[in-house]
Amino acid sequence: MGNWRIKLVLLFTILNIIGIFAIIPYSITLMGDQSVPGDIPTSLIVIINSTFQVLYMFVLILVGLRLQNRTGLNASLLNGLVYPKTRVHISKKWLINSIVVALIGSVIIILLDLFVFSPLIGVPKNQLPSPNWWQGLLASIYGGVTEEIMLRLFGMTFIVWLLAWITKKEKDNIPNSFYYVAIFLIAIIFGLGHLPATIEVFGDLSTIIVIRALVLNGLLGLWFGYLYWRKGLEYAMIAHISADIFLHVLIASILY
């Protein structure tokens, strides 16, 4: 592994650690009313889980960066920070697009929940603790950094690589359909990953509740995946952070 590649791995690892530990206050608040075995402090459980996550995310970073070269996917801005021959160019147009579409998508998600899913599902059986605005703000860093590393840098990259490997396609000949499949699958996987939290809120699962989890959690993931493919991972990160701030800080403070 070249020196610049080691620096890139370290850079992603540092960003990931910041994201993981930024969500700790948010997680502690959500777990506040839950019983834990052996009277173990909630904060200790969260810290142990966070440390474990740092370790396995390091592996995902290594694999994701390794496979990027074979898929045409990239993180050009971060590459430019560690690779001296790469020029860093930030597209103001796509930076604005990333944030604006994240805002529009956040509003659509809120409207879908309020006027489509809530009337069909009814009142949740359990009310989870509400983290403070600053905890939601910190948690947005986790969403934009750690989740994007997990879902896009590793997950989406792996799916594109796997499809290319199965069909024996080289990087320059990978069809667009492979990227669309990866974008869609990762959005679905992210939605499915929220089912345990959904069960905790609603008590059980029904078809409409599962659809709600997939739509509300996966909709913006389609945009994040498209940004990763077309512009680079950094734009997906910025869009994800923006969406989480809109949903969990700004809009949440208005509605709740």
pLDDT for the residue 44 = 79
Region of 36 on the Ramachandran plot (φ > 0 left; ψ -120 to 50 alpha; else beta) = beta
pLDDT for the residue 29 = 86
pLDDT for the residue 58 = 97
Contact assessment for residue 191 and residue 218, using Cβ atoms and an 8 Å cutoff: yes
Domain ranges in the chain are: 3-255
pLDDT for the residue 88 = 75
Contact assessment for residue 54 and residue 9, using Cβ atoms and an 8 Å cutoff: no
Angle between helices 233-245 and 207-230 (to 10 degrees): 140
Chain center to CA of 30 = 19
Residues of the chain with pLDDT under 70: 1-2, 32-39, 84, 86, 255-256
Residue with tokens 């690779």: 83
Amino acid sitting at position 40: I
Give the integer Cα–Cα distance in Å for 142 and 17.
9
Give the integer Cα–Cα distance in Å for 223 and 179.
12
Tell if the pTM clears 0.75, that is, is over it.
yes
Contact assessment for residue 170 and residue 72, using Cβ atoms and an 8 Å cutoff: no
| φ/ψ of residue 243, rounded to 5 | -65, -40
Closest Cα partner for 18 from 53, 64, 62? 53
Amino acid sitting at position 213: A
Cα Rg, the chain, nearest whole Å: 19
Q: Report the length, in residues, of the chain.
A: 256
